[in-house]
Amino acid sequence: MNDLDLLVDADLAERAQVVLGNRGFFAPLVAENVRLIGHHHLAPAIRVTDGVVVQVEIHHNALSRDWNASLTTRTLIDAPRLFRLDGGHARALGHRDMLRHLSRHCADRGPLFRLGWVADLVGYAHRYRDEIDWKGLTTEDPFAINALSLMHFVTPLPEALARELQPPTASVPGGAGESGKSLEMILQRGRSLSDVSRDVLYPSDWWLRLYYGVNLTSSLAWCRWIRHPAHVLRGAIQRAAIYMRWRVGLTP
């Protein structure tokens, strides 16, 4: 485990960070890294216990700003699930909200597509398949259903889960298991125009369907030539604005 994520109401995020600071964590309230300005979580709170680094992130949104969706305490579709913890009780996301989170985590951009993400998503869906309101999830967030279907091309879904979801029988989309590159990687200084153009216009068919929730019966033309380039441009403008805010903040 890399860190522990805690989802709190946006109005209470800084208060939660102060609580961590009072519990022995180094928990800065001011974002010292430009990437954390306007981010979906506060700066990581860190404490070393018995030589082990414990890192906690206070999230006011479980999804990053790149998504046209939010997963906050106010946008949950299920009641949180209670579980026992150290003699008390804590709350975890409800099943449908957890699948909303895990499916988008699978679609995150990065240098590599991680099989651990597939295990998290498919394993969770399989473990709680009889408790999940699949019909409600299809209505509330078809993205998660589409993501699970596309995981079938990376590893066949377990038989019981496959009966529930009826995985696709279409031919495997090109580039199954390939991750889309992050905006930071695409726009990295020194890259040639041809490399940037290729990454913007030609991510794999499989990843485009995953990231934008395009099912296998729909054409990718609009997504590839209009929606994805526009999304990259929006992200670049957003990051440039954040950088300028950071620079202004550094000015005496």
The 10s digit of each residue's pLDDT in 189-230 is: 777 888 777 777 788 999 999 999 999 889 999 999 999 989
Q: What is the pLDDT of residue 37?
A: 63
> pLDDT tier at 164 (50, 70, 90 boundaries)?
confident
Q: What is the pLDDT of residue 186?
A: 76
Q: What is the pLDDT of residue 31?
A: 64
Question: How many CB atoms neighbour CB 198 within 10 A?
Answer: 13
> What is the average per-residue pLDDT within 88-105?
94
> What is the average per-residue pLDDT within 140-152?
93
Span 13-57, pLDDT tens digits: 999 999 999 999 999 887 665 555 667 888 899 999 888 999 999
Say how many CA atoms lie within 13 Å of 69 toward its Cβ. 18
> pLDDT tier at 132 (50, 70, 90 boundaries)?
very high
Q: Is the pLDDT of residue 111 over 70?
A: yes
Of 59-68, 125-134, 239-248, least confident by mean pLDDT is 239-248
Task: Assign 3-class secondary structure to the chain.
Answer: CCCEEEECCHHHHHHHHHHHHHCCCECCCCCCCHHHCCCCECCCEEEEECCEEEEEEEECCCCCCCCCCCCCCCCCCCCCEEEEECCEEEEECCHHHHHHHHHHHHHCCCCCCCHHHHHHHHHHHHHCCCCCCHHHHHHHCHHHHHHHHHHCCCCCCCHHHHHHHCCCCCCCCCCCCCCCCCHHHHCCCCCCHHHHHHHHHCCCHHHHHHHHCCCCCCCCHHHHHHHHHHHHHHHHHHHHHHHHHHHHHHCC
> pLDDT tier at 158 (50, 70, 90 boundaries)?
very high
